[in-house]
Amino acid sequence: MAPLRPSLLVTLGAFMTLITTAASEPALQIVQIEKTPNGFTSPPRGWNSFGIQANSDTTPGFSFNQTSIISQCDVLAKTTSLKDAGYVYCSLDSGWSVGGNGDEYGRIIYDTSVFDIPSLADHLHGEGLLLGIYVVPGAFNADKEKTILGTNVTIGSVCSGDNGLARCNFDYSQPAVQQWHNSVVDQFASWGVDLIKFDYVTPGSPSNGASLPADSSSEVIAYHRAIAQSGRKIRLDISWKLDRSQKYFDIWESNADSMRTDQDINNGGKPTFVSWQVVQRAIDNYRQYVTTVMQYNTTLTVYPDMDNLYVGNPASVSGVTDDERQTIMTHWLGAGANLIIGSDLTNLDDFGLHLLTNSGAIAVADFTAHHPMQPRNPGSGNNSSQQLQAWVAGPDASGSAVVVIANYGPDQNQGGFGTSLSGKQTVDVSWADLGIDGTFDVHDVWANKDLGAESSGLSVQLDEGQSVLYKLTRS
């Protein structure tokens, strides 16, 4: 995508109008993210297996076993630009563990036909990487007669029913339930686990195909407490499309390190990873998320998880154009979201590697880890869904900010904005729209080009699916 040059938005006469209308623009409430419950100050960067598992035609020859996982994650270790950019998590999705029962104490165990988790952890740690694994709620129905480690309590006396995942539902009023979680996480810690992805959490997880209880938030608390007592630093990432009401958001951000803002975005079962239609939905779900939770508190302690990043492979495999790949990366960066690659790491193209490792883009990720972006509609400063959209992250204490301007193209029925403007569009964004003022030096991150000082706003021409990513520094 060619660099897009912003231009001064206003003449002197228009400047008087801008000042007049500025008073009606909503004031900017700066959103910040501070240390998470398990002690992290940035979202994770790395790779997760789910996209390839669910879209096997994208990655011929891949099997979900230790050999294939190592072949993927060794790319993180041996590609200097990826490792230097902080992509260190190698995260296994569903299928690494035995699916119908636990060990003699009902603890989750790895499937020895495909994985040796301690040896995998040793390999990854030896390469400077970290290990993530996947869990779902409850203990196994088949384990109800087993006794929880360190207790005389059977699993069946504190866990009943069937959640549709071959597991029962815990009674969290019983102390032994926490002891079960402690025993599970202690074993994970002994294996060398560094991240737990906890899926099927409710309220949330819509259209899950299971029989989940309406509220499993107590299990998020139980996993957090188990991590805290384990003596190992472990991230907790909870999923998916979780309830955003204040009651539950307070639980999520008090116990988890990141939380999914949408459903899965991959093209399940297809030969490409993702579609632009679903990306439009994911971006709008982040918009809904951030504009909701910032009403409770503008200082947050949990990172957004917008799902895996499917930008690393050629457009024919990714399923979106190169412009759209860049726009995806731009929005995940701007949101301060998890940067967990879902692409085939053995088939990265030059453009994909550039998107994932560009030093200016990684500097933006470092910035938005503390100041995530929020929407500011061009022309009004409101936060509704728009085809032509602007976002601002910060400013921080020094006055620096990040600005994203996008043309999402016609709404493909999930974008939330409902308009169908076709072709190139001019997007005018004033400082008043963004809620900022003063003179800023503007740097185009992807073009790595300084665009000079601007004192009133930006104007860019964007085709469908295009966006720009700017770093603003006070002049």
List residues with catalytic annotation: 199, 264
Closest CA to 193 of 169, 227, 244, 147: 227
Alpha-carbon gap, residue 362 to 469, rounded angstroms:
12
Helix (H) or strand (E) holding 305: strand 303-305
Residues in contact with 330: Cβ distance below 8 Å, sequence separation at least 6, in sequence order: 404, 406, 446, 467, 468, 469
> Is the sign of the CA dihedral 284, 289, 295, 298 positive or negative?
negative
* Parallel, antiparallel or unpaired: strands 303-305 and 258-260: parallel
CA distance 78 to 39: 28
Instruction: Give dist(CA 340, CA 44) in Å, integer.
Output: 7
Q: In what order do the strands lie in the sheet with 467-474?
A: 373-375, 388-393, 401-407, 467-474, 440-444, 449-454
CB 339 within 8 A of CB 44: yes
Dist CA 255 CA 21 (whole Å): 42
β-pair type (169-170, 89-91): unpaired
